[in-house]
């Protein structure tokens, strides 16, 4: 049995698919993964024993320029990704029994599955993009809603119109070429009426959060048994546990002085620092021996050894830190990151940084909360509630779906 998994987005969109692929393999099934051709994603999938089928442009080429992507960039990228999905997925799906899509609005994936007669699943890692009467939609390129509009139902209808403006023409053009009828609501077509939520229920409770009928699986975690580098082990063994600071791909557009700000903030708390280079290639600000710089590293092992984790608030990093029992400081910038920052604060396992740009003072203040005995105790308590079987749950559901069984409401 073979399943095609596809995404386009950051590492936080790719790594869960690697975890799911491992879960499928453990149940005797094979997975193919179509994802952006960034070299770090290829290496990540290779570590999981899954070859990468390149899909679309490299994410780094889109987001790591001198300036953040604009709305105009989004309107150029959307039809490009639609075309890439029709071309790449149609070939990659040969011999597959189902197609699962996630990441940036995967318009085109369901349509390929429809043409080939395959079961299709849309998975998400949070509920923020799912229509809801409880909260408004997030920001999306296109015509903004009037500030005077407060009815969430109307706001979500306008969100659907923005998705149509981004993807509709390209999607329906490719559908017509395959002899498929047009779609009038791209967003709801992609989401289906029953998307799968691959998020931990403690970190991301979903009761009443969307009008759709969710299938909960738990987070898809890729096990990592790589040893830490010897030099890092030696650094960790000396003195108090350090503070980890890393912003992943979000560092690409961080302020020029971000390394200085975080270093001074950590030092103000009397702690040493493990600094992740990220996509901005952050570097030490001086020759002091209290800062150790890391590139790609086993975060699951590292986070168990640090006093706190300062990060951008991606779903994957938030879950990994929570599972490790390390208190967190989340410095959110875009998309779902403010949500994860809020949840960390609500659970008492760390602090949500005020604003998107940390200063030595603001980050030091947030670290005071995260480094408190109360946060450490609470973080260790919550760590015991984080589920680690989400990928296996989802793999089993996928195989059941292929067999024609309707996914039950899974309690995780």
Q: What is the pTM of this model?
A: 0.94
Q: What is the pLDDT of residues 165-203, one digit of tens each?
A: 999 999 999 999 999 999 999 999 999 999 999 999 999
372 and 275 in a common domain: yes
Q: Is residue 91 pLDDT above 90, yes or no?
A: yes
* Count of residues making up the chain: 412
175 and 35 in a common domain: yes
193 and 112 in a common domain: yes
392 and 377 in a common domain: no
**What is the separation, in whole angstroms, between the first and last Cα of the chain?**
26
**Is residue 207 in some structural domain?**
yes
Backbone angles phi, psi at 56, to 5 degrees: 70, -170
324 and 181 in a common domain: no
Q: Which domain holds residue 280?
A: 230-383
**Is residue 408 in some structural domain?**
no
**Is residue 109 in some structural domain?**
yes
Q: What is the pLDDT of residues 263-314, one digit of tens each?
A: 999 999 999 999 999 888 889 999 999 999 999 999 999 999 999 999 999 9
289 and 256 in a common domain: yes
112 and 9 in a common domain: yes
CATH number of the CATH domain containing 351? 3.40.50.2000
The pLDDT of residue 66: 66
216 and 237 in a common domain: no
Average per-residue pLDDT for the chain: 93
How many domains is the chain partitioned into structurally?
A: 2
Q: Is residue 3 pLDDT above 60, yes or no?
A: yes
What is the 3-class SS of the chain, one letter each residue?
CEEEEECCCCHHHHHHHHHHHHHHHHCCCEEEEEECCCHHHHHHHHHCCCCEEECCCCHHHHHCCCCCCCHHHHHHHHHHHHHHHHHHHHHHCCCCCEEEECCCCCCCHHHHHHHHCCCEEEEECCCCCCCCCCCCCCCCCCCCCCCCCCCHHHHHHHHHHHHHHHHHHHHHHHHHHCCCCCCCCHHHHHHCCCCEECCCCCCCCCCCCCCCCCEECCCCCCCCCCCCCHHHHHHHHCCCCCEEECCHHHHHHCCCCHHHHHHHHHHHCCCCEEEECHHHCCCCCCCCCCEEEECCCCHHHHHCCCCEEEECCCHHHHHHHHHHCCCEEECCCCCCHHHHHHHHHHHCCEEECCCCCCCHHHHHHHHHHHCCHHHHHHHHHHHCCCCCCHHHHHHHHHHHHHCCCCCCCCCC
pLDDT grade for 409, boundaries at 50, 70 and 90: low
348 and 216 in a common domain: no
Q: Is residue 226 pLDDT above 60, yes or no?
A: yes
398 and 363 in a common domain: no
**Is residue 137 in some structural domain?**
yes
**Is residue 412 in some structural domain?**
no
Q: Is residue 121 pLDDT above 80, yes or no?
A: yes
**Is residue 245 in some structural domain?**
yes
The pLDDT of residue 250: 59
**Is residue 410 in some structural domain?**
no
**Is residue 200 in some structural domain?**
yes
148 and 120 in a common domain: yes
80 and 51 in a common domain: yes
């Amino acid at each position: 049995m073979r399943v095609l998994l596809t995404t386009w987005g950051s590492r936080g969109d790719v790594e869960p698919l690697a975890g799911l692929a491992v879960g499928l393999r453990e149940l005797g099934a094979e997975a193919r993964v179509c994802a952006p051709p960034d070299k770090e994603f290829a290496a990540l999938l290779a570590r999981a024993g899954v070859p990468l089928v390149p899909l679309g442009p490299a994410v780094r080429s889109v987001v790591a320029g001198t300036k953040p992507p604009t709305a105009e960039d989004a309107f150029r990228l959307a039809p490009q990704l639609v075309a890439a999905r029709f071309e790449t997925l149609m070939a990659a799906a040969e011999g597959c029994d189902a197609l699962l899509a996630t990441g940036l609005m995967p318009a085109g994936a369901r349509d390929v599955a429809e043409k080939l007669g395959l079961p299709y699943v849309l998975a998400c890692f949070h509920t923020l993009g799912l229509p809801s009467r409880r909260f408004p939609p997030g920001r999306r390129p296109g015509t903004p809603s009037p500030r005077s509009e407060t009815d969430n139902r109307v706001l979500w209808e306008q969100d659907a119109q923005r998705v149509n403006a981004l993807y509709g023409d390209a999607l329906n053009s490719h559908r017509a070429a395959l002899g498929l009828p047009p779609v009038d609501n791209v967003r709801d077509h992609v989401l289906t009426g029953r998307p799968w939520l691959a998020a931990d229920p403690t970190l991301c409770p979903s009761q009443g959060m969307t009008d759709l009928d969710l299938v909960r699986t738990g987070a898809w975690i890729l096990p990592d048994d790589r040893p830490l580098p010897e030099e890092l082990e030696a650094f960790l063994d000396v003195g108090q546990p350090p503070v980890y600071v890393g912003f992943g791909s979000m560092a690409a557009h961080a302020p020029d002085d971000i390394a200085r700000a975080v270093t001074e903030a950590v030092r103000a708390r009397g702690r040493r620092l493990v600094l992740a280079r990220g996509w901005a290639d952050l570097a030490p600000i001086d020759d002091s021996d209290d800062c150790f710089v890391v590139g790609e590293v086993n975060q699951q092992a590292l986070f168990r050894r640090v006093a706190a984790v300062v990060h951008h608030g991606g779903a994957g990093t938030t879950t990994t830190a929570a599972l490790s029992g390390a208190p967190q400081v989340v410095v959110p910038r875009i998309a779902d990151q403010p949500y994860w920052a809020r949840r960390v604060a609500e659970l008492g396992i760390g602090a949500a940084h005020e604003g998107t740009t940390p200063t030595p003072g603001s980050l030091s203040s947030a670290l005071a909360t995260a480094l408190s005995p109360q946060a450490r105790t609470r973080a260790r308590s919550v760590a015991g509630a984080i589920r680690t079987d989400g990928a296996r749950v989802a793999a089993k559901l996928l195989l059941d779906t292929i067999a024609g069984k309707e996914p039950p409401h899974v309690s995780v």
